[in-house]
Amino acid sequence: MPKTQKDNLFELVKSLSKSEKRQFKLFVGRLGVNEDAKFMTLFDILERLSHYDETEILKHDSIRKKQLSNLKAHLYKQILISLRLNPSHQNIRVQIREQLDFATILYNKGLHNQSLRILDKAKLVAMAHEEKNMAYEIIELEKVIESQYITRSISSRADELTIQAKNVSRLNVITSKLSNLSLQLYGIFLKQGYVKNDEEYNWITDYFNARMPEIDMDMLGFREKLWLYKAYLWYSFLTQDFLSCYRYARKWVELFYENEEMIKLNPVFFLRGQQYLLEALFFIKDVERFKETLQAFEGAVAKADFPKGKNIESLVFLHLNSHKINLYFMEGRFEEGIPMVKDVLLGLEKYEGTIDEHHVMMFYYKIACLYFGAGQNKTCIQYLDKIISNKTLEMREDLLCFSRILNLVAHFEAGEDYHLDRLIKSTYKFLIKMEDLYQVQKEMIRFIRQLGDIYPHQLKAEFIKLHENLKQFEDDPYERRSFLYLDILSWLESHITGKSIPQIIQEKALALKQER
C-alpha cells in the first residue's frame, strides 16, 4: 500500500475548526478583490479533498502547475494571519507581542512618548506572566528610545532601565542554562537510556553537577523553578532514582497549582508535569497516591477554563488513558481494563497525525499486557505483532525487547507450540544483537535457549530456578526497571503457586500498602 503524500498546507487546512474556517473566509473576503482570488479556490479544493492529491488540484483551470507553489505559500501565510486574529489564539504571549509591535510602529512614526507608555504597560504584563524574554526585548527597545530622544519621562530612567535589564538578563541566563541542561539530559536518555552500572552513574552525575548553575532559590521566579525541577527530574530518571523523580515531579505540579494562571499559559508543561508525576508513582508502586493524583489530573483538565485545542486534547487523551491502564496493572484488574481498549483505539484514530507512532506502539504494548493479564493470550499476540512487524519505526530497544519476550510467553501460554521453536530462535537472535543487555535480559536469554529442550514435567522446576535467578535483581537499582515493562516474576509465581496473575499482583499490592 503506497504511503499517503503529506503536505503542510493540506494538514493546516484539515486542522481548522468550523469557526476558524468561517473566520478565514470572512478575513479574506474583507476586500471585494479577494472574493475570486485563486488562493481561495485552492482553499476550497483542499477543504473538500480527503487526502492531498496534486493531480486533483491541477484539474481546475484557474490553477496552473507553475504557480501552485507560490499560491500554496500565500494561502499558508493568510491562514496563519487569520488564526492569529482568532480570539481562541489570543493568549498573553500573543497580546504582549502585539503591544510590542504597536510600540515599534509608534516609535518609527516619531511618537516616542506614546510608544514608551505602551512598552511600560506591556513590560508589567510580561513580568507578571514570567515572560522574561519578551520583557528583556521590551526593555531593550525602551533603552533605544530613551538613549536617542530626551523624553524626560522619569529623571532616573537610565539607571532604572539598566537595573531592570541586568536583573531580567541574569534570570534569562539561568533559565537558558537550566533548559539546556534539561534538554541535554533528555538527549542522553534517548541515545543511551538509563544508567546500567556505577561507571555510567558517576559519569552522568559529574556531567549534571558540572552544568548546574549556582542557584539562589529566593531569587527564582516560576519559569526558573520550572526548568530547575525539570533538570533534576531528568537526572533522577537517568539514574533510576524514582523516589527523587516523584519528589521533583510533585514540585513541578505544585508549582502550577500555586500559580494557576500559568496552567492556561503553559498547558503543555502542566500536562507533562502530571505525566511524570504519575509515571514516578507507577515506578515506586504507590497505588493510593497514584489514584489521588490521577483523579486530581482528571478534574483539572475537565474544568471549563482549561485550555482547548487539538494538541492539548491529544496530550490529555495520551496521558490520561496511558495511566488509567497503568492503574489496572498496579491493582491487577486486567479483565476490568479490557473495555478501555475500544475507547483507546478510537482515540488513536481521532488523533492520528498528532500522536507520534512511538506512543501508538506503547499503547499497543499496554493493550497486549492487559489481554495477557486477563488470560486472553491470542489477542495479546495480535497487538504484539503490530509492534514486532513494524519495520519502519525506530523504537526504544527495551520496548522491542520485552514485546518479543512477552510474545514468546503468550505463545507458550496459548499452547501454540508449532510456532514456539521458530519464535525461540528469532527472539534469541534479536536479544543477542542488543547492546548493553541488563542481567534480567541475559537470564531470559539463557531460559529461552533451553526452553525447546524442557519436558513438560520439568517446567515447574525450571520456573522455580528462573524465579530464583531473577528475584535477586528485583531491588537492584540498575535492574529493577526491567520488571516494570513485564512483570515476569508474577507470571512465574503464578505457575509455581497455581494462582492467577491478577491474584498474585493484588496480594503484592496489598502487602505493599500495609508496609506503607
Helix, strand, coil shares of the chain, percent, nearest 5, are: 75, 0, 25
Cα(516)–Cα(214) distance, integer angstroms = 36
> What does the block give as the cell for 137?
526585548
Q: What does the mean pLDDT of the chain come to?
A: 85
Average pLDDT value for residue range 496-501: 87
Over residues 265-278, mean pLDDT: 93
Name the percent of the chain lying above pLDDT 70.
Answer: 92
- Contact predicate 330/286, CB 8 Å: no
Tell whether pTM > 0.75: yes
Tens digits of per-residue pLDDT, 339-360?
999 999 999 999 887 888 888 9
Residue 1 has pLDDT above 60, yes or no: no
Burial class (CB in 10 A: 0-12, 13-18, 19+), 206: exposed
Q: What pLDDT was estimated at residue 155?
A: 57
**Rounded Cα gap, residues 93 and 137, in angstroms:** 13
Tell me the per-residue pLDDT of 114-143, one tens digit each, with 9 for 90 and over: 888 899 899 998 888 888 888 888 888 888
